[in-house]
Structure 1
């Protein structure tokens, strides 16, 4: 029998804790709709300015909505999460916070960009600046189940049970598989993003409130021996129509490669290099370049075997540049 229930944005928590009482108990195969706060707990509004960041409370960051108890889930099972629909709010935001982000020591000054997610929603993009369009590709930053270990665990980092995985590929049409470690799984989700580059280098994506539809199914005796961490499956044609409106074929991407014996430092060098290119070749301000890297560029480990050095590329699709003075 198919079941559908709705979870409101008041039903949330700020720590993973397997002793939390579930807000609902559902059978395997249930479809749920969620009304989600954004990853900043709705502290940023459509009219916020950079000065608003001075009162931002990080203790409220990354709320997870749930937990949901799936009645047949037991440790050793796999929870299959089908991402059915994702709808952003009419606006989103990206911020540079002092002491936060991959280049935090180089960007000490707060910065806030408010994105219009409604005007060009049907065309599949949002305007960063006239001449720069960022594809809207909604996904959930937080998708997870409770950990076996007792106690409270922050919702900010990712774990083997999911959590704040910030994986932009788990979008509508995708399926996420998580290992169940406690009875009932205790599933929660949150932290909606309208777009993000791999790495989320300035520390924030396009953060937005979101309406979400998911289906939760317990799989027993299937894949349990190897799903020890999040696994995902993407649809070959997901977002194809939308992306075809945004991405011009053959434009390619521009990437800066950082090389260092330390993986994090190689990543920092790559981001720094792309920021330099965006400033020098495209005329962006330094903060604008950092934000664009965070929402549209990808960090890729392109070399990890020729020790003692790592090579990390920070790549930006050139299709984001759609008009003068950028093309």
Structure 2
């Protein structure tokens, strides 16, 4: 099922090239912006997946995907260019992700919020990869197993990485679905696609570049699958210009992302980047000072921590902060509401820092009050996190 990739829809079009991308690390305060936009402008980013170009896969996407029957002409030129580039990356210390940016937004300053609206996501290929490697999934020491046998979809590489090739096909209603064949009888698992960007973040005010793997107060590798087309992500700005970046495109992901990766594949993503200051920021999320999401139907409180139980507690505290500081609920009522009606879902358990997100139905809360609180939120000191989300408050 060949994808139709429409023309760039944003005011600006940002391709991913060795000059606009970083590989394995996030932008830092010394990174020069690859694009400068005004508040409220839109940007279309052609994102590149790391799967098929990594060292443990041979760093040759034509050869790697060719082993699955993908013709050379169907391997994206930008993926080939990144694989062949001299972009610095330490495989032993840095993350795997190709990150495009930073994009500087005029007027953004520390203390503001950057509202990142995902306006559209379009597939750039009709195939993708799910990989399990280095004992870093949910079952380290058990999978990937050393005796994993190759099949029509799955190959065990000399590095030990097990990569499963997925195609995109049309189901009986002409909707695209992911397909993983298995066994010898022509059977396959078919699942719905829900494209989203795994990495969306702002530049952290750190002395050294951060790995792309763990998420934090800066956002980054959040892997929250409900942050798809039509949603917004609010991020606390930490440096002048915000320094927005994105990467890690997914066609589909199950909550947990247990094998280590989701269905990784390239997307054309269009964003609107808006700076919210003072009262406008409080009208959006109350006194939240960590990444926070919004869809047409839900508010999305995000909890991050190296311990999954603590990530859950962080998500509850973030939800309480929002409900008390923005919706005007008292803490006891908000706590009771969360227990009765909100859904806490595991975002991912494989990114060093674990993620849990809490879904609060907008229809349950109704229209938010027009007045804006000025008092400190009861739970704010507990939701503040350091870049590694250890739970300690520190310099962002």
Q: How does 1:248-287 map to 2 (within 5 A)?
A: 263=308
Gap change, CA 1:210 and 1:218, over 3 Å in 2: same
Gap change, CA 1:29 and 1:122, over 3 Å in 2: farther
1:287 equivalent in structure 2: none
Q: Distance in 1 between matches of 2:344 and 2:129?
A: 21
Conserved 8 A contact 1:91-1:118 = no
Secondary structure at the aligned position of 1:102 is classed as coil
Conserved 8 A contact 1:95-1:113 = yes
Q: Distance in 2 between matches of 1:29 and 1:122?
A: 35
Displacement of 1:122 after TM fit?
4.4
Say which of 189, 196, 213 aligns to 1:139. Answer: 196
2:281 equivalent in structure 1: 223
1:184 equivalent in structure 2: 241
Gap change, CA 1:115 and 1:41, over 3 Å in 2: closer
Say which of 223, 244, 250 aligns to 1:193. Answer: 250
1:22 equivalent in structure 2: 33
1:126 aligns with 2:184: no
Q: Distance in 1 between matches of 2:52 and 2:107?
A: 32
1:67 equivalent in structure 2: 102
Displacement of 1:146 after TM fit?
0.5
TM-score of the superposed pair, with normalisation by structure 2: 0.55
Displacement of 1:66 after TM fit?
0.5
Displacement of 1:9 after TM fit?
1.1
Displacement of 1:18 after TM fit?
1.4
Conserved 8 A contact 2:167-2:178 = yes
Structure 1: segments with no counterpart, 5+ residues: 50-54, 238-261, 268-297, 302-311, 313-327
1:4 aligns with 2:11: yes
Gap change, CA 1:138 and 1:111, over 3 Å in 2: same
Q: Distance in 2 between matches of 1:20 and 1:81?
A: 20
Q: How many residues align?
A: 240
2:139 equivalent in structure 1: 103
Q: Distance in 1 between matches of 2:115 and 2:53?
A: 29
Q: Distance in 1 between matches of 2:189 and 2:112?
A: 45
Q: Distance in 2 between matches of 1:3 and 1:171?
A: 17
CA-to-aligned-CA distance 1:221-244 (integer Å, 9 cap, x gap): 12356231111111239xxxxxxx
Displacement of 1:126 after TM fit?
1.6
Secondary structure at the aligned position of 1:113 is classed as strand
1:92 aligns with 2:128: yes
2:293 equivalent in structure 1: 232
More strand by share: 1
Q: Distance in 2 between matches of 1:106 and 1:36?
A: 32
Q: Distance in 1 between matches of 2:95 and 2:164?
A: 20
Q: How does 1:161-172 map to 2 (within 5 A)?
A: 161-172=218-229
Q: Distance in 2 between matches of 1:219 and 1:122?
A: 40
1:283 equivalent in structure 2: none
1:292 equivalent in structure 2: none
CA-to-aligned-CA distance 1:162-185 (integer Å, 9 cap, x gap): 000001000001111111011000
Q: How does 1:279-318 map to 2 (within 5 A)?
A: 300=345
TM-score of the superposed pair, with normalisation by structure 1: 0.66
Conserved 8 A contact 1:3-1:29 = no
Task: Output the aligned Cα RMSD.
Answer: 3.0
CA-to-aligned-CA distance 1:84-129 (integer Å, 9 cap, x gap): 1111221110011132211121114342211112545941312223
